[in-house]
Structure 1
Amino acid sequence: MTAWRCVFADGPVDGKVVLVSGGAGAVGRYAIQFAKLGGARVIATVGNAEAAASASGAGADLVLNRHVDDLATAIAGFTGDANGRGVDRFVEVAFGANLELIVKTISPNGVVASYASDAVPEPKLPFWPLVMLDVTIRFVLVYVMPKQAHLEAAEAINSALEAKQLTHLIGRTLPLASIVEAHEAVERGDLGKTILVLP
């Protein structure tokens, strides 16, 4: 639901460029898929080769490793924007840490939909560069979304599931007795969903 809201809260994405940071994460992998279903061209940023394979498998058109790639240059090349400002929407898991990249690459009237900012929990906002581009910053928390947004997201997710349009990355399946191991896997940030099987 967070992924769907981040992608579509500000309207259709058909023909737009959407950048999903953390493209192999729990939200990011679904955001890639929803953006592709909506007709967007999708860039995903990841941290390692395993995550890159997951983001690519989800349908990202361009996958970049945030540790080794020159992100701004690669994004400009992908979008073809002469000013390097070709990203229409950001789905952002690391808002504060990625603000510099956002300022360099977001299009005029672009949107940043962020649901987390762990590394930099109180980011300093570069107000003037963002206001000069008329950027919208949207914070997404499903627990306080409007009821209509919940209903729209649920309908869209159910439709995609029924049509078998979403893929899921299962990292591990454990019995309920191994719940401690399951929690540790999630806390470590292991790739893929951790599934508990009830007796």
Structure 2
Amino acid sequence: MRAITYTQPGGPDVLQLTDRAVPEPGPGEVLVRLALAGVNPTDWKSRSSAQPGPGGQVPGQDGAGTVEAVGQGVDPAIRGERVWVWEAAWQRPWGTAAEYTVVPARQAVPMGPEPSFELGAALGIPFLTAHRCLTLGESVPDRMGPGSLTGRTVLVQGGAGAVGNAAIQLARWADATVIATVSSPRKAQLAAAAGASHVVDYRRQDVVAEVRKVATKGVDTVVEVSAARNAAVDAQVVGIHAAVAVYADDGGAEVTIPVRAQMGPNARWNFVLVYTQPERAKVIGVEDVNAALLDGALRVGEEAGLPLHVFPLAETAQAHRAVQEGAVGKVLIDVTA
């Protein structure tokens, strides 16, 4: 099979198109014939710094395709199912930048006949991250579904990013009022297309003033892409028992939080990384994201505020470079091209 591999950390050029044997699923595993793979920031960060195993590493956590074979202990009825794959390469050599991947059966989630493989490949890390951010606060439930966030207000800092888009879509599915911040009119259009109730251009507007117009008592949840830059704003807009969920690291920047101002509302500041979050949170996240998918609440493409940038497998290095350089939208790899 064709697969992208790297045998040493480095820039995008360490990624090589190789010919490898199709892996065999072991006990509890499934073999998935992939159609598309998703590319996330953690893919290029791992490629840049993490030493791959002796056999090399196939990058890519997310993807979508069809179950081709199952290992011992897995119900054979799942063969032929269309699935979305999550966390494929976390502490495993078989990622999704290949024609086939092997993952534990629970990491290949049946998606039914209707959703596109493009949508399936875009779920994974962005939507599971968004789900975790939206369910951490004391004033919100830890499960999501229609109506679960009725009466709650969510602030999504960076509403045109992949996680920001996912947070908007999931929060709107749960009936929250969503305020999104953006940096340009173009990104404002994308956040609105995703379903944001209110959009604030932080380069042209006073974010605190605009948020307080909508949420006079403060917001319940902040989904935060840049805590080092936005901490002062977040501290001024949180409501009673609110949570600030930080999912990006600003290149290692440090964050200063006004402690006394956060004690009054008993605000909670959380840090989110899907790979190491509690097991129960992963299970719930996968179930809820898949429920939203099967409910028809999730979309991709320009009309959903998430433009797609699709590269053939042989150009995976360019796909990594696009994500590293901040491509707006979702970068996918067409494994079949």
Contact 1:94 1:119 in 2 (8 A): no
Contact 1:18 1:42 in 2 (8 A): yes
Query: 5+ residue gaps in structure 1?
Result: none
For 1:72, the equivalent position in structure 2 comes to 208
**Cα distance in 2 between the residues matched to 1:129 and 1:119:** 26
After TM superposition, which residue ranges in structure 1, 4 or more long, deviate above 4 angstroms?
none
TM-score, with structure 2 as normaliser: 0.56
Instruction: Write the mapping of 1:179-198 to structure 2, written as runs, cut at 5 A.
Output: 179-198=316-335
Contact 2:136 2:243 in 1 (8 A): no
Partner amino acid, structure 1, of 2:171:
A
**Cα distance in 2 between the residues matched to 1:71 and 1:163:** 33
Note the alpha carbon deviations across 1:113-169, whole angstroms, 9 max, x for none. Answer: 111230672112211111122111111111111111111000111111122211122
**Secondary structure of 2:151's match?**
coil
**Cα distance in 2 between the residues matched to 1:104 and 1:150:** 31
Contact 1:170 1:195 in 2 (8 A): no
**Cα distance in 2 between the residues matched to 1:95 and 1:120:** 11
**Cα distance in 1 between the residues matched to 2:231 and 2:334:** 40
How far off its partner does 1:192 sit?
Answer: 1.0
For 2:280, the equivalent position in structure 1 comes to 148
**Cα distance in 2 between the residues matched to 1:88 and 1:148:** 22
Note the alpha carbon deviations across 1:154-185, whole angstroms, 9 max, x for none. Answer: 01111111222111224311111222221121
2:311 to 125, 149, 174: 174
**Cα distance in 2 between the residues matched to 1:106 and 1:120:** 24
1:126 to 240, 258, 264: 258
For 1:57, the equivalent position in structure 2 comes to 193
Contact 1:115 1:140 in 2 (8 A): yes
Partner amino acid, structure 2, of 1:121:
A
Root-mean-square deviation (CA), in Å? Answer: 1.5
Give the paired residue count: 195
How far off its partner does 1:93 sit?
Answer: 0.8
Partner amino acid, structure 2, of 1:101:
V
| Mapped pair 1:162 → 2:294 | yes
Identity of aligned residues (%): 36
Instruction: Write the mapping of 1:95-114 to structure 2, written as runs, cut at 5 A.
Output: 95-114=227-246
Partner amino acid, structure 2, of 1:32:
I
Deviates more, 1:170-179 or 1:58-67: 170-179
For 2:130, the equivalent position in structure 1 comes to 3
How far off its partner does 1:9 sit?
Answer: 2.6
Instruction: Write the mapping of 1:41-56 to structure 2, written as runs, cut at 5 A.
Output: 41-56=177-192
Contact 2:157 2:182 in 1 (8 A): yes
Contact 2:179 2:197 in 1 (8 A): yes
**Cα distance in 2 between the residues matched to 1:71 and 1:37:** 24
How far off its partner does 1:51 sit?
Answer: 1.4
Deviates more, 1:91-100 or 1:168-177: 168-177
The structure with the largest helix share of the pair is 1
Query: 5+ residue gaps in structure 2?
Result: 1-127, 142-148, 301-305
